Amino acid sequence: MLASLALALMASAPPAQIHSAASLVQTTTSPAEGSRSEAEIAIARYMETFYRAEFADALKAAESLKVDPSNRQGLGMVTGMRAAALLGLKRKNQADRLYQEAIALNPQEPMTVHLRMMAALMIEDGPVALTAFDRLVARFPDEVRDIDPEIMWFVFQKEDSKDMSAKEDRRIALARLGYGGDTYGDFITASAIRVLIRRGDISGATDLLRYLDEPTDIEDLLIQKRYAALWPALELHAGTKLAKVRLSSAESAKRAYEADSTNWRELAQYVDALRHAGRANEAIALREKLPSTPEAMANMEEWTGWTFNNIAYALHSEGRGDEADQLFATLNQAKIENSGWRVSMVINRLEMLVADQKYDRALALMDTTEATAKRDGNPYSQQLVRRLRYCSLIKLGRAAEAAHVRPEMMKNKDKSIGATIEGLLCAGEHDEAEKLALSLLDTEDGEGSFVRNLQVKPLTGDDPSVWATGWSVLRQRPAIAKEFERLGRDLPEHLYGSAGR
């Protein structure tokens, strides 16, 4: 975790921040015009070593900063830097004492709190990290808005799963701050809206709709009866065929990409937003941005891979399945070091082949995909592959071979109940599929998945699906139909857009 977090933290102290921090520190000499001051050099050294978790060197850099005792702002900032480095060194008593001193000297300095949170994340001290984060939210909202989503993910990983109230309060606070902006805020906002509805705060939930323009989240709210109080406001917000939110999502993703066009994460999300807005050809046109030479591909990272993935989906949605498969092949066969992240794309390629009923071709890749999932994936991804193998064998009439796969698939059904249901539906095993589908209703997320999968028409999808026919058969069964009627509805006809699967 430490290495991946350090990578996420690398961009957390841009030159402007270093210059701003240095302006608080008085030095004995004035720099020549165009050169960096002693303070800037020391602070830059501190940030560089701190983010590499070289806390002893960071401490030395902080201690090299000489501050006039009368300069409470500068003294508070440097004391906070020392406190964070000491926390990284796990000298907690000293760190805590200096942190309190730093707060007393300069309570308006967000860097003191931010660095403490970062150090706590790197040494995996969840309680300290969360306490610092909560202080940032309460006192320094602008600082919170600038936290990178990958760093925010590490914060969320430290939350106590037993303290749901605190976890939910953080989502609400972040949503009200507009955290994530145009492209990253939808997940936080949707989570906060669900919490507020559960708490009966319809007004608060309605107020947050202005931050939500992800079509799939809008659809989920519009089909589950637990959110019925929001339906009138949601329809006004989304527009006929969800046209307003589809446009908003694509345009906001475009703004984010154009503001940082070398950022692969922004490009991947822009491609996806275009696809979900029914503008697949515009998404496909961005294929020219992909690296194409072996040298360029050797240095790819995960978000570049997701750009390949999302353009392949766009190609597939336009009936260009062979091109989509070739794009996946190009990505998955490229020589890239430390590319365990490709497991998702390897599985998605297989999903697409099964969706196109190219079962022989899928089986030819199955062993490689299964090995990749075992090496680089998790139990969830491994179950996805099992159900793809089971389905492909069934569809090819190789029942005896499928029978050997089934016990392992059922043994691991809890790793992904949804995937297991799909495998059973592919084989026409509706009784067993029904039992598992009803077990989804034990959780709120499961209820949402249940209602979405049983829609009479497929909604906006992230993945091509071969399972829709099976779900439609399942919906005819009395127990399933009864639960669907209790929990959901089909998306009204006037809200269907042109960006289905």
Name which residue leads in pLDDT, 385 or 22: 385
Across the strands, what pairs with 52?
none
pLDDT score recorded for residue 40: 84
pLDDT of residue 226: 97
In the predicted model, what is the mean pLDDT of residues 74-82? 94
224 CB contacts (<8 Å, ≥6 apart)?
Answer: 447, 448, 451, 487, 488
pLDDT in tens, 254-266: 999 999 999 999 9
CA–CA distance, 7 with 355 (Å, rounded to integer): 36
- Residue 24 clears pLDDT 70, i.e. is over it: no
Collapse the DSSP code of 481 into the 3-class scheme (helix H, G, I; strand E, B; otherwise coil) and give the result: helix
Close Cβ partners of 454 (under 8 Å, ≥ 6 residues apart): 471, 472, 474, 475, 480, 484, 488
* pLDDT band for position 11 (cuts 50, 70, 90): very low
Beta-carbon contacts of 28 under 8 Å, excluding residues fewer than 6 positions away, are 38, 66
- Looking at residue 407, its pLDDT comes to 98
Question: According to the model, what pLDDT value does residue 3 have?
Answer: 42
Residue 326 has pLDDT above 80, yes or no: yes
**Per-residue model confidence (pLDDT) at position 38:** 81
pLDDT at 58: 96
pLDDT the model gives residue 7: 44
Q: Which CATH number fits domain 1-158: 1.10.10, 1.25.40, 3.30.70, 1.10.1060?
A: 1.25.40
Crossing angle, helix 243-259 and helix 264-276, to 10 degrees? Answer: 160
Count CA within 13 A, CB hemisphere, residue 74: 19
Question: Cβ distance 43 to 22 under 8 Å?
Answer: yes
pLDDT tens column, 89-146:
999 999 999 999 999 999 999 999 999 999 999 999 999 999 999 999 999 999 999 8
Structure confidence by residue, pLDDT tens digits, 449-491: 999 999 999 898 866 667 888 899 999 999 999 999 999 999 9
Exposure of 135 by Cβ count < 10 A (0-12 exposed, 13-18 middle, 19+ buried)?
middle
Q: What are the two backbone dihedrals, phi and then psi, of residue 224, each rounded to the nearest 5 degrees?
A: -100, 130
Question: What's the pLDDT score for residue 66?
Answer: 85
Query: Nearest CA to 234 among 251, 248, 217?
Result: 217
Q: Is the pLDDT of residue 161 over 90?
A: no
Q: What is the pLDDT of residue 158?
A: 93
- In terms of pLDDT, which residue wins out, 180 or 7? 180
416-429 burial: b if 16+ Cβ within 10 Å, else e: bbbbbbbbbbbbeb
- The predicted-structure confidence for 142-159, as pLDDT tens digits, reads as follows 999 988 888 999 999 999
- Residue identified by tokens 């507009």 is 178
Share above pLDDT 90 across residues of the chain, in percent, rounded to a whole number: 79
Mean pLDDT of 33-50: 80
pLDDT tier, 368 (very low <50, low <70, confident <90, very high otherwise): very high
6 pLDDT exceeds 50?
A: no
Kind plus residue range of the DSSP H or E element containing 23: none
pLDDT at 250 > cutoff 70 = yes
Comparing CA positions, the residue from 407, 332, 347 lying closest to residue 380 is 347
- What pLDDT score does 469 carry? 85
Predicted pLDDT at 31 = 46
pLDDT for position 68? 86
For the chain, the structural domain boundaries read 1-158, 159-241, 260-338
Distance of CA 37 to the CA centre of its chain: 39
Distance between CA atoms of 87 and 82, rounded to whole angstroms?
A: 9
DSSP helix/strand/coil, 158: coil
Rounded CA separation 489/306 (Å):
32
Looking at residue 463, its pLDDT comes to 64
Residue range 266-287, pLDDT digits in tens: 999 999 999 999 999 999 999 9
Mean pLDDT of 173-194: 89
pLDDT confidence bin for 294, thresholds 50/70/90? confident
Q: What tens digit of pLDDT does each residue of 370-429 get?
A: 999 999 999 999 999 999 999 999 999 999 999 999 999 999 999 999 999 999 999 999
Q: Supply the pLDDT for residue 184.
A: 77
The rounded mean pLDDT for the chain is: 90
Query: pLDDT of 430-453, one tens digit each?
Result: 999 999 999 999 999 999 999 999
**pLDDT for 60 beyond 90:** yes
What pLDDT, on a 0 to 100 scale, did the predictor assign at position 424? Answer: 96
